[in-house]
């Protein structure tokens, strides 16, 4: 019946300790992301996924970005992208056009309203990153922390599971 539970052996106890420690760290990463996402939602009235799309489109300037590419930048299935862009189009933030180079594809582009929203949300976001990610850390750690996050962003990109 295993009534001794999770820490019934020394080996398990050691694992348990480690996981609890790391569990909190993961929780930290998750909560920080959650806080930043919520802030965008509350202060700018768009979801955090919409915000990320605005950033992606802003980076591409006025070339337009395919649905596919948006799905790959984010962690979102193609169906998810379709619906997300649907809502953004309804909200007047983006517009879709046929891709002249591939008649299956569609290109997504910022509207002027979308651009303004991107700038506004970016400002809010930046401020929140400063407050929640940077200021709590000792001055001397900040640079290295950001550098490490940058490294991890690349491994994360490679490790991303393929979504349909």
Partner DNA sequence: TCGGAATACCTGATCAGTCAGTTACTGTTG
Partner DNA sequence: CAACAGTAACTGACTGATCAGGTATTCCGA
Choose the binding region for its own copies from 63-71, 84-92, 98-106, 112-120 (rule: CB under 8 A).
112-120
To DNA, the closest distance from the beta carbon of 10 in angstroms equals 33
Find the binder of DNA among 39, 54, 71, 118 (CB under 7 A). Answer: 71
| In 108-138, alpha helices (H) | 112-129
The vertex-83 CA angle with 98 and 54, nearest 5°, equals 75
Please give the sequence-ordered ranges of beta strands (E in DSSP) within 30-115, or none if there are none.
Answer: 65-66, 94-98, 106-110
Footprint on residues 10-39 left by its own copies (CB under 8 A): 12, 15-16, 18-20, 22-36, 38
Q: How far apart are CA 152 and CA 149, in angstroms?
A: 5
Find the binder of DNA among 80, 115, 132, 133 (CB under 7 A). Answer: 80
- Token pair for residue 86? 């649907």
To DNA, the closest distance from the beta carbon of 161 in angstroms equals 9
To DNA, the closest distance from the beta carbon of 111 in angstroms equals 16
Residue 83 — φ and ψ, nearest 5°?
Answer: -75, -35
- For residue 123, the partner it binds in DNA, its own copies, none, with Cβ less than 5 to 8 A by kind, is its own copies
- Taking the least distance from each CB to its own copies, the nearer of 1 and 103 is 1
| SS3 label, residue 4 | coil
């Amino acid at each position: 019946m295993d009534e001794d539970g999770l820490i019934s052996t020394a080996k398990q106890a050691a694992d348990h300790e480690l996981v609890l420690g790391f569990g909190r760290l993961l929780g930290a990463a998750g909560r920080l992301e959650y806080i930043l996402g919520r802030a965008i939602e509350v202060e700018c009235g768009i979801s955090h996924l919409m915000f990320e799309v605005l950033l992606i489109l802003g980076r591409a300037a006025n070339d337009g970005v395919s649905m596919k590419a948006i799905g790959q930048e984010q962690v979102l299935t193609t169906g998810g992208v379709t619906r997300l862009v649907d809502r953004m189009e309804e909200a007047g933030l983006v517009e879709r056009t046929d891709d002249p180079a591939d008649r299956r594809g569609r290109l997504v582009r910022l509207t002027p309203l979308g651009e303004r929203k991107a700038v506004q949300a970016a400002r809010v976001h930046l401020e929140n990153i400063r407050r929640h990610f940077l200021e709590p850390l000792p001055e001397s750690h900040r640079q290295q922390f950001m550098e490490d996050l940058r490294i991890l962003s690349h491994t994360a990109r490679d490790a991303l599971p393929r979504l349909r």
